[in-house]
Amino acid sequence: MSIASYSEYSQMILKAREGNYAYPAINVTSTSTANAALEAFAEKKSDGIIQVSTGGGEFASGQMTKDAVLGAISLAQHVRLMAEKFNIKVALHTDHCPPKKVDSFLIPLIEETERRRAAGLPNLFSSHMFDGSELPLNENLKIAKTLHERCTKSEMILEVEAGVVGGEEDGVNNEDTPAEKLYTTSEDMLSVQKELGSIGIYLFAATFGNVHGVYKPGNVKLKPSILKEGQQAVISQFGPESELNLVFHGGSGSSLQEIHETLNYGVVKMNIDTDTQYAYTRSVVDFMLKNYDQVLKVEGEVGNKKFYDPRAWMKKAETSMKERIMQACDDLKSSGKSLGL
């Protein structure tokens, strides 16, 4: 199959919400990590989302270039080519673009899709995220509305966020965020739907105590009931057809019970980054420690090219990351539910 079209992506979201499951959204930074995600989705017969952050795009472009837009385009093109080999549907997404990077990252990527559409080519990305959570809600929604209208016009879905996800990710540190800002209110959710609901389908990252990074059990105080109460308020005011398509950020370390509870309240997308980073790196460390005298030229020896060839340990890393994503498909109940089945 291939990258999901706008109508297919919309159908994916609707099916997930109605079926109480969600799609793993995997941050990638290289062709290697992108391949791990595609293979995991294919093996689990799960559709999924592959996403690129500003930092991921910058890394993918190389340490001399450091061009987040160019790196994001490169990764998107790779995923588009490789997705044709797998019998699943994949959506391409950009993750967490703050207000200060809208003009330098988000707008150039939207313009790239607009150029492609004018030339009769498919969209580059399926969706984009504007993270205006650092702004007062009225300013956040003013920018979000303009972006949502522009994205919808070119058949792309916008993800927005209200409330702050704690912790640190991709160079953005919210570890000192006041506790009350970690929880989106029902009033916030009503405001988001009022401003964006009539334009077209969108994704909404409402926060309920979620935190980026890894924390020991008990340190993250999730309140999934916030999602339930917010959905009830939205449906009560705007009708059942206005139920929000929610996104779970900062889910690393959350219990399976908490994850499953959020699926009942409209979560259709869960971002997974920290756990896949660890899975990728953990296997490399294991390989290096077990083969120390093979990957290094120790005490005048020459080592073993078969071991220090980067492909040897990158294959291990890809497999480990793939296995973690496959677990995510099971945890989020998306396994075996691809549109292609």
If you write DSSP's letter for every residue of 207-239 in order, what string do you get? -BS-EES---TTSS---THHHHHHHHHHHHHH-
Q: Among all residues, which ones are annotated catalytic?
A: 95
Q: Which two tokens stand for residue 10?
A: 């919309």
Rounded CA gap, 271 and 33, in Å?
A: 15
Rounded CA gap, 233 and 339, in Å?
A: 31
Q: Checking DSSP bridges between strand 2-3 and strand 89-97, what pairing results, if any?
A: parallel
Q: Which two tokens stand for residue 269?
A: 């997308």
CB 227 within 8 A of CB 208: yes
SS3 for 129? strand
Average pLDDT over residues 187-210: 94
Domain 2-331 has CATH 3.30.830.10: no
Summary mean pLDDT of the chain: 92
Q: Which residue has the higher pLDDT, 81 or 170?
A: 81
Average pLDDT over residues 270-296: 96
pLDDT (tens digit, 9 = 90+) per residue, 108-135? 999 999 999 999 999 999 999 999 999 9
What's the pLDDT score for residue 168? Answer: 46
Query: Could you state, in order of their start, the residue ranges of all structural domains in the chain?
Result: 2-331
Q: 2: pLDDT confidence band, cut at 50, 70 and 90?
A: confident
